[in-house]
């Protein structure tokens, strides 16, 4: 299988870094083995069950898998709805004992009992079940499993990516799913390039990367123009300190010069944040200036009103005094 040049997706790569290599392994295996603890479920366990659960997790995290399996099975007897126990058992049977039918059984239990409580845990369990189905050459079931995960958590990048994998393998349109996933988490584009499941659709992934690169190049250029305009307007209303904005602009332009899809995605995020920051700063300053002008206007109006009334009363007093004096003289 021929992979696309990594530089096409992100500059500075000849090989994926350690972090992405680890993530690719996680994607390939379907689920990170570190288990998130769920406080809401822990509250439903009695003291004995909590102690046993704690011992289960300690054994598992220390790679004492045989001991962990014994304790976890005992935990299951005490609380058959404990989906964390089912998830860990599924991991043990899949990753360490290579008992795929057993791992599938426990991932399905985890999904079933997690669904009313935690969509995140339920969708992860369904993704793991899909991984096992695929391992057992049951592609249609793998597709249905991740489809169920999508119904629970359709906006999660990990769920989108995994459903895109089996959608592509089924021969269905998958680029919309992968595009949405990459929008949420750009690193998945580089991951897709190294994923064996996408080996038959490399041309579509390359086309997706090209389209995204062009789209994001235009988006970044438009944002940079808006930022430059906001910067000029900011200076016009007295904001002269644009040091932070200048640094962000320099970084955006550096990323754009690398001309890779992921770098444009990074530049776009910086541009959006910079634009929001600069415009908010400009609006705040403008509102402050408007408040100052309003205050001055009120002072001027008060002063003007006071001056007119003072002068009016003064001249009326003078005129009345003169008239009164003339009248007095005429009477005399």
Burial 164-183 (b: 16+ CB within 10 A, else e): bbbbbbeeeebbebbbebbb
Alpha-carbon torsion (57, 60, 66, 72), positive or negative: positive
Residue 260, in any domain of the structure: no
Residue 133 lies in a domain: yes
* Closest by CA position to 4, among listed 193, 187, 192: 193
CATH number at residue 87: 1.25.40.10
Confidence at residue 322, expressed as pLDDT on a 0 to 100 scale: 60
Tell me whether residue 317 is in a domain: no
pLDDT 10s digits, 164-219: 999 999 999 999 999 999 888 888 988 998 899 999 999 999 898 888 888 888 88
For the ranges 32-36, 95-99, 187-191, the maximum mean pLDDT occurs at 95-99
Predicted local distance difference test score (pLDDT) of residue 289: 63
Mean pLDDT value across residues 114-125: 94
Rounded mean pLDDT, 214-234: 81
Q: Residue 245 falls within a domain, yes or no? A: no
In the DSSP assignment, the letter for residue 81 is T
Q: How far apart are CA 243 and CA 236, in angstroms?
A: 16
> Is the pLDDT higher at 33 or at 79?
79
**Per-residue buried b or exposed e for 56-79, using 16+ beta carbons within 10 Å of the residue's own CB:** bbebbeeeebeebbebbeebbeeb
Q: How many Cβ atoms from other residues are within 10 Å of residue 228's Cβ?
A: 13
On the 0-12 / 13-18 / 19+ scale of CB atoms within 10 A, 310 is: exposed
Question: What is the structure's pLDDT at 12?
Answer: 33
Contact predicate 49/79, CB 8 Å: yes
Residue 141 has pLDDT above 90, yes or no: yes
Domain count of the fold of the chain: 1
pLDDT band at 99 (very low <50, low <70, confident <90, very high): very high
Task: Please give the average per-residue pLDDT across 82-109, as a whole number.
Answer: 94
Residue 140 has a pLDDT of 97
The total of other beta-carbon atoms located within 10 Å of residue 155's CB is: 10
Q: Are 238 and 189 in contact (CB under 8 A)?
A: no
> What pLDDT is recorded for position 62?
83
H or E element that contains 137: none
Lowest mean pLDDT among 88-92, 102-106, 287-291: 287-291
Residue 283: inside a domain: no
Mean pLDDT, residues 140-153 taken together = 97
Q: What is the pLDDT of residue 219?
A: 85
- In this predicted model, what pLDDT tens digit does every residue of 242-277 receive, in sequence order? 777 788 888 888 888 888 777 887 888 888 887 777
The whole model's pTM is what? 0.64
pLDDT at 251: 87
- For 61-71, the pLDDT digits (tens) are 888 888 888 88
Poorest-pLDDT segment among 29-38, 124-133, 320-329: 29-38
- Residue 180 lies inside a defined structural domain of this protein: yes
Confirm whether 258 is domain-assigned. no
Is 255 within 8 Å of 266 (Cβ atoms)? yes
SS3 60: helix
Compute the chain's Rg from CA coordinates: 34
Closest CA to 103 of 75, 141, 135: 135
Nearest to 178 by CA among 19, 170, 187: 187
State how far the Cα of 57 lies from the Cα of 50, in Å rounded to an integer: 11
Q: Residue 16 domain-assigned?
A: yes
Tell me which residue range forms the domain holding 27: 6-211
Give the model confidence (pLDDT) of 268-302 as tens digits: 888 888 777 776 766 676 667 666 666 665 655 55
């Amino acid at each position: 299988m021929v992979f696309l040049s990594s530089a096409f997706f992100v500059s500075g790569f000849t090989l994926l870094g350690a972090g992405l290599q680890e993530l690719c392994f996680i994607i390939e295996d379907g689920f990170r083995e570190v288990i998130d603890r769920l406080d809401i479920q822990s509250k439903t366990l009695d003291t004995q069950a909590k102690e046993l659960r704690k011992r289960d997790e300690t054994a598992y995290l220390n790679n004492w898998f045989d001991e962990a399996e014994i304790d976890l099975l005992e935990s299951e007897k005490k609380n058959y709805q404990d989906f964390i126990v089912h998830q860990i058992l599924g991991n043990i049977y899949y990753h360490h004992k290579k008992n795929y039918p057993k791992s599938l059984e426990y991932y399905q239990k985890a999904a079933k009992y997690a669904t009313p409580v935690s969509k995140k845990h339920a969708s992860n369990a369904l993704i793991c079940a899909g991984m096992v189905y695929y391992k057992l050459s049951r592609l249609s079931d793998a597709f249905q499993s991740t489809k169920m995960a999508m119904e629970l958590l359709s906006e999660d990048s990990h769920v989108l990516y995994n459903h895109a994998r089996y959608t592509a393998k089924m021969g269905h349109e998958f680029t919309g799913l992968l595009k949405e996933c990459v929008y949420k988490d750009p690193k998945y584009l580089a991951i897709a390039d190294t994923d064996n499941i996408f080996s038959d659709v490399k041309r579509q992934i390359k086309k997706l990367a090209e389209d995204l690169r062009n789209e994001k190049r235009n988006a970044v250029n438009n944002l940079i123009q808006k930022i430059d305009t906001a910067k000029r307007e900011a200076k016009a209303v007295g904001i002269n300190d644009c040091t932070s904005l200048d640094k962000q602009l320099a970084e955006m332009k550096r990323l754009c010069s690398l001309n890779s899809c992921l770098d444009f995605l990074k530049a776009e995020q910086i541009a959006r944040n910079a634009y929001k920051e600069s415009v908010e700063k400009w609006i705040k300053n403008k509102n402050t200036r408007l408040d100052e002008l309003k205050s001055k206007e009120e002072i001027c109006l008060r002063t003007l009103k006071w001056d007119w009334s003072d002068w009016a009363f003064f001249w009326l007093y003078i005129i009345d005094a003169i008239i009164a004096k003339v009248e007095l003289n005429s009477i005399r």
